[in-house]
Structure 1
Amino acid sequence: MKIAVDAMGGDHAPQVVIEGVEQARDELTDVEFTLYGDEQQIRPLLKSDTRITIVHTTEKINSDDEPVHAIRSKKQASMVLAAQAVKAGDADAVFSLGSTGALLAAGLLIVGRIRGIDRPGLMPTLPTVDGQGFVMLDVGANAENRPQQLVNYAVMGDFYARDLRGLKNPRVALLNNGSEANKGDALHQETYKLLSDMPNLNFIGNVEADHLLNGVADVVVTDGFTGNAALKAIEGTAKNILRLVKHAIYDGGVRGKLGGLMLKSGITNIAQTFDVSSYGGAALLGLKAPVVKAHGGADAKAVYYTVRQIHDMVQNGTITKVVDYFTQA
């Protein structure tokens, strides 16, 4: 198995990328990595080059670059060459911490779409209070969607939940502003009807945003604009709650510190529950090969878990199953 890595993407590249890749390399003995980036920066960070190849690149795509223009003009950029390796069959998957828009453009223009899917969706795994988590798509690859595109997301999310999360009959829900079937605008009402008619999909109906973290569904489908807003709200709420707990302990004097000490195990469990880095990255589903994006501010731990996620996607042939489904459909 070969994974092409954009080593220059992200806020702390290439250091966290190298650290996470080496940790994964030491555990996953069936994986080889090709790191695309500035060799002068990468080489000193490597503890060992076992099953790691460096391809020196002279360009990188910045977060403020216009995505499509950058992919087309920066031919020697680390992200572009990593995507081209997948297209050429030299790698099974591509991984980056760089610009989401640029990675989507690279996926569409270089890796290519699955026939029958006109708009790939961005899908992260998000936490729930029971620690099981759920996947949601789209969370920002598209500002607008049509009903059939949301149905495609439901199908792809279902495949992912079965393959990578081991669920035999994933619960699929539609994010809406009410639980009743007639709620929402024309997009959501039509999507609800289409999903209800899918015989092999365990569609449980609408779910409201305030229930997302309660573990009511395994796959949540939404348009990209709504999904991105929900994602940012969840991430922001989790960070602020943990910050408030921390301040309550440290600013509460002796009593606050004693209380924090007594509740240490409970606070640790809460922090672990909402630690999204252990869930891996966000997969761009709808492309011909695994294309996975980790947060730009990710640390080495998040990189490690994302590599494991990619390994499981390739090993289970998740994308191949999706391709076969839509080819037959």
Structure 2
Amino acid sequence: MKIAVDAMGGDHAPDEIVRGALLYRAKGGGAELILVGREDDLRRAGALGEGITIRDAHDVVGMDEHPAKALRGRADTSIGVATTLVKRGEADAVVSAGNTGATMAAALMLLGRIRGIDRPALCGMLPTTKGKAACLLDAGATMDADEHNILQFARMASRFMEKVHSVERPSVGLINVGEEPEKGGRLQQAAHALLSGAEDLNFYGNIEGRDVMRGITDICVTDGFTGNVLAKGMEGVVDVFVDGIRHDIFGGPLGKIAGLFALPGLGKFRSRMDYDPYVSAPLLGVAGISVVTHGRARANMMRRAIEVAERAVATRLLEAIGEAVSTSAA
């Protein structure tokens, strides 16, 4: 198995991306890695080791650029070259912490969609109070999803949670403004009707925004606009809490002393809110494994992202999604 890594994407590229690749191999990762980026920069960052090769690419899609225009106008971007390796069969998957829009655009332009899938979806993996991750779908790929798209999102996410996270018959919740079936607008009511009638899904019913991080269901489906706002809002709340704990509660001399007594509890809290192991997820619906991870990714998160790509390939996730869609359409 070979995995292409966009080594120039992310806030801490290329150093942390290279460190993540080396960490993956050091932890026993079995896939061969192809680091795509400026060769001189990657070598300076230490991108040398068994099972790691470099593919030179001189350009990078910036966070402030229009993804599709950048990819069409410049053939030597790191994410474009890395995704092309998958298209040509020279790699089995691609991983990137770079511009999410560019990763999605490259996947759609170069790999296309799985037969029968109308729109792609981005899975946002979130921590929950139950100590397990919840899959929020769609986290921003399809802003104007309809009820049929949401039904497909639920089917794709179910296969993803089964294959990559080993969740047996994952439960599906529809994000709404109340638990009753008649709540919500036309989209939510129509989606509820379709999900309720899908015998291949373990549909729980409506859930509210507060239920996502309570872990009420394994999968939380909605349109891409709502999902993206919800995910970023939660991220902001976590940042405020972490900053408040660090500076307001444990800042200063007395705070540091109190911190020593609270250390066991802080360790548990940090472990619960640590999304390195599961924040990375493939763009679902495209005809290739394209894993998106957080732009803040450092070495450990990047290592975990590569592991997600490895599991997605090994468990034949694409075939499982294709079968789910074709069976439901029969």
Give TM class, smaller chain: over 0.9
Deviation at 1:318, TM superposition (A): 1.1
Deviation at 1:252, TM superposition (A): 6.0
1:42 aligns with 2:35: no
Find the counterpart in structure 1 of residue 91 from structure 2.
91
Match of 2:16 in 1: 16
Cα 1:128–1:313 change in 2 (3 A) is same
1:291 aligned partner: 290
Q: Larger deviation: 176-185 or 58-67?
A: 58-67
Deviations along 1:76-117, whole A, 9 cap, x unmatched?
A: 111111111111111111111111111111111101111111
Offset, 1:278: 2.2
What SS does structure 2 have at the residue aligned with 1:263? helix
Over 3 Å counting, the alpha-carbon distance change for 1:85 and 1:153 in structure 2 is same
After superposition, give the CA deviation of every residue in 1:213-266 in whole Å (9 maximum; x if it has no partner): 111000110100100111011111112112111123334652x33332222111
Task: Give the aligned partner of residue 206 of structure 1.
Answer: 206
Provide runs of 4+ in structure 1 moved above 4 Å: none
**What is the match of residue 188 of structure 1?**
188
Give the count of matched residue pairs: 328
Residues 85 and 91 in structure 1, CA contact (< 8 A), matched pair in contact too: yes
Q: Which moved more, 1:315-324 or 1:120-129?
A: 315-324
Shift of 1:315: 1.0
Name 1:312's counterpart in structure 2. 311
* Aligned AA (1:259): A
Once the two structures are superposed, what CA deviation does each residue of 1:164-211 show, in whole Å capped at 9, x if it has no partner? Answer: 222212110001111110011111100000000011211000100112
Length-normalised TM-score, structure 2: 0.96
Q: Is it true that 1:244 corresponds to 2:264 in the alignment?
A: no
* Structure-1 separation of matches of 2:323 and 2:259: 53
* Structure 1 residue ranges without an equivalent (≥5): none
- 1:131 matched residue in structure 2: 131
SS at match of 2:304: helix
Equivalent residue for 1:327?
326
Query: What secondary structure, in the 3-state scheme, does the structure 2 residue paired with 1:220 have?
Result: strand
Mapped partners of 1:44, 1:280: distance in 2? 28
Superposed CA offset, 1:261-313 (max 9, x none): 22211111111111122214132100111111111121111101111111111
Cα pair 1:242 1:271 within 8 Å, conserved: no
| Runs of 5+ unmatched residues, structure 2 | none
Q: Give, in angstroms, the shift of residue 29 of structure 1.
A: 4.5
Contact map agreement 1:288 1:323 (CA 8 A) in 2: no
Query: % of aligned pairs identical?
Result: 36
1:42-76 CA distance string (max 9 Å, x none): 01222633111111112221112211111111111
Residue 280 of structure 2 aligns with an amino acid whose one-letter code is G
- Contact 2:119–2:149 (Cα < 8 Å) also in 1: yes
Structure 1 residues 51-60 or 189-198, which shifts more? Answer: 51-60
Whether the 8 Å CA contact 1:59–1:78 is kept in 2: the answer is yes
Greater mean alpha carbon deviation, residues 49-58 or residues 226-235: 49-58
My pick for the range that moved more, 89-98 or 319-328, is 319-328
Other structure's SS at 2:163 match:
helix
Contact residue 250 and residue 258 of structure 2 kept, 8 A: no
Aligned counterparts of 1:67 and 1:180: Cα–Cα separation in 2:
40
**Paired position in structure 1 for 2:148:** 148
1:72-83 mapped onto 2 (5 Å cutoff): 72-83=72-83
Instruction: Give distance in 2, aligned partners of 1:218 and 1:32.
Output: 31
Match in the other structure for 1:269: 268
Corresponding residue for 1:59? 59
**CA 1:163–1:3 in 2, change beyond 3 Å: closer, same or farther?**
same
- Paired residue secondary structure (1:308): helix
Check 1:169–1:327 CA distance in 2 against 1; reply closer, same or farther (3 A cut): closer
What is residue 218 of structure 2 aligned with on the other side? 218
- CA shift, 1:41, in A, is 0.2
RMSD value, Cα: 1.4
Q: CA separation in 1, counterparts of 2:256 and 2:81?
A: 51
**Conservation of the 8 A alpha-carbon contact between 1:79 and 1:103:** yes
What aligned pairs does 1:108-127 form with structure 2 within 5 A after superposition?
A: 108-127=108-127
Code of the aligned partner of 2:37: G
**In structure 2, what is the Cα distance between the partners aligned to 1:19 and 1:257?**
31
Equivalent-residue separation in structure 1 for 2:26 and 2:250 (angstroms):
38
Residue aligning to 2:300: 301
Matched letter for residue 187 of structure 2: L
- Residue type matched to 2:208 in 1? E
Counterparts of 1:235 and 1:280 in 2: how far apart (Å)?
12
